[in-house]
Amino acid sequence: MQTQFSSLELRQAFSSFPTGVTVITGLHSDMKPVGITVSSFNTVSLSPPLILWSIGKQSDLKSCFSVGQRQLIHVLEASQKDLALIFAKQIKKDIFDLNHSINSSGLYRLANCAAYYECETVAVHEGGDHQIIVARVLAIEYDPELQPLLFAHSQFTQLAFDPAGSL
């Protein structure tokens, strides 16, 4: 195994692990909606229902997800690559032009995602160049017929899915 490696080499090695792609929306202190594309999303616990995700320490959005703040996690559907790029700030677009609604907590909800988790941040931990957000799941919605968007080897991809149940 290689014990000396660059950040780029580590990033390339990390890309061997496929992840789901999420957009996480929240509210800025002025109550304007914010959103960010995140692939560092994991389940933590069923009881209590907890998830975790991370945000770069340099992000100007990190205060929007501090303890007590609510967020809506959108698991993107396989055809929603453009949404991932918009919220990753690779494509400039007014997010109000996107197909969305505002949920009962005032959070921006993108249409047609594979799953939604409304959460509240319960802890924030330092993790190198990121902050690790631990959030309690308050409400869920999902469509088992929709396939999630995946990210691996620095590319968007999707599951090979056979409706008959065999791969």
Map residue 142 onto helix, strand or coil. Answer: strand
- Express each pLDDT in 95-147 by its tens digit: 667 788 888 888 999 999 999 999 999 999 999 999 999 999 999 999 999 99
Place of tokens 């996480």: 24
In this predicted structure, what is the pLDDT of residue 136?
Answer: 98
Between 158 and 37, the more confident residue is: 37
- Distance separating alpha carbons of residues 80 and 143, to the nearest angstrom: 15
pLDDT at 13 over 90: no
Percentage of the chain with pLDDT > 70? 92
Domain range 18-154, CATH class? mainly beta
55, 131 contact by CB (below 8 A): yes
Tell me what the mean pLDDT of segment 62-71 comes to: 95
- Predicted confidence band at 18 (pLDDT cuts at 50, 70, 90)? confident
Res 88 pLDDT > 80: yes
Name the percent of the chain lying above pLDDT 90: 58
Nearest CA-CA partner of 111 in 81, 71, 83:
83
Joined tokens for residue 164: 């008959």
Collapsing DSSP states into helix, strand and coil, what is residue 106? coil
Is 1 or 45 the better-scoring residue by pLDDT? 45
* Residue 147 DSSP class: P
Helix (H) or strand (E) holding 109: strand 108-110
Going from N- to C-terminal start, the domains of the chain cover 18-154
Residues 6+ away with beta carbon under 8 Å from 2: 9
